[in-house]
Amino acid sequence: MKMPESTALGLQNSLGWMSPDDFTLDEIASSLNIVIKEKTLAGAEGRILIKGDSGVITIDSSICSEGKRNFVLAHEIGHFLMHKDAVALFSETDMTLNEWYKKGNQENEANCFATEFLLPRRLFVSLVESKRLSLSLIEDLSSYFHTSILATFLRYVDLGKFPLMVVFIENGIVKWKRASKDFPFTWIPKDFRLPVYTVAGDLFYNKTIETKPQKVDAVEWFSEDFEIKNKSDWKLWEQCYQVGANSIVSCLWTY
């Protein structure tokens, strides 16, 4: 079985890859004998058809974000390099990419490949280890790596030095969250209503946008978490941004 991280590193080494600006994903796909097509896809953002040592990746033509398109392409290239003997066709839904992963080892492996290839561990760590966490830092990293802000925040969850939780909110309801292992709280109930007295609450309810991280009471977000009884006076940094007409990503970290 091919491991995602070593497969990504192997591809970078074979290309002589040194930085994200060395090659576009389209150029990398071409070097692997993969043809890229763009057209409207119903219920999917990308898919790959594999035949022997060649393949065809189809990307939904409605994708406008460079970072999102790059992740879809890298994900499909991961399937090509790791799973060509398993099944010939993979199709990725919008839910797959919004939730970062879905059930099934092959999907998780393709996501891990895309993450490591687009946001290599050593390079990412070297760029964040001496810097304070903020949305502006993540935006700078997103621009450098040509990745989405969400994908970059999620990489920070795994590799950053500040304990961090990323929360995805849709129509004022928490849909999913992901936290670093050292983040002090874990429990936000399913379909939790967005708290009013938070930065994300200000954006959703009052259309007020904070350009810098703000301190918020941890109890606002984690009133039902077991740990809050011992940390009722804790505060967290929070910063959020709009990702769709009805969707917000909020990022919470310790200080």
Three-state helix/strand/coil letters over 120-158: CHHHHHHHHCCCCCCHHHHHHHHHHHCCCHHHHHHHHHH
The candidate with the shortest Cα–Cα distance to 37, out of 52, 48, 50, is 48
Two tokens, residue 33: 């004998």
Of 8-17, 48-57, 63-72, least confident by mean pLDDT is: 48-57
Q: Which residues contact 193 (CB under 8 A, 6 or more apart)?
A: 172, 173, 174
State which of 118, 139, 165 marks the end of a domain. Answer: 118
Structural domain boundaries enclosing 96? 4-118
pTM: 0.84
Element (H, E) at 112: helix 105-118
Is 167 found in the same domain as 88? no
Is 191 found in the same domain as 84? no
Share of the chain above pLDDT 70, in %: 92
Q: Which residues contact 203 (CB under 8 A, 6 or more apart)?
A: 209, 210, 240, 242, 248
pLDDT at 101: 40
Is 195 found in the same domain as 164? yes
Is 104 found in the same domain as 149? no
> Tens of pLDDT along 180-223?
999 999 999 889 999 999 999 999 999 998 888 999 999 999 99
Mean pLDDT, the chain, integer = 89
User: Are 215 and 178 contacting, i.e. CB atoms less than 8 angstroms apart?
Assistant: no
State which of 118, 145, 169 marks the end of a domain. Answer: 118
What is the pLDDT averaged over residues 145-169?
94
Torsion sign over Cα 138, 143, 149, 151: negative
Q: How remote is the C-alpha of 121 from its chain's centroid?
A: 14
State which of 92, 118, 144 marks the end of a domain. Answer: 118
Q: What angle is formed at CA 238 by the lines to CA 234 and CA 242, rounded to 5 degrees?
A: 155
What is the pLDDT averaged over residues 158-185?
94
pLDDT at 113: 95
Is 189 found in the same domain as 91? no
Two tokens, residue 47: 């898919």
Total domains in the fold of the chain:
2
Is 111 found in the same domain as 91? yes
Is 249 found in the same domain as 137? yes
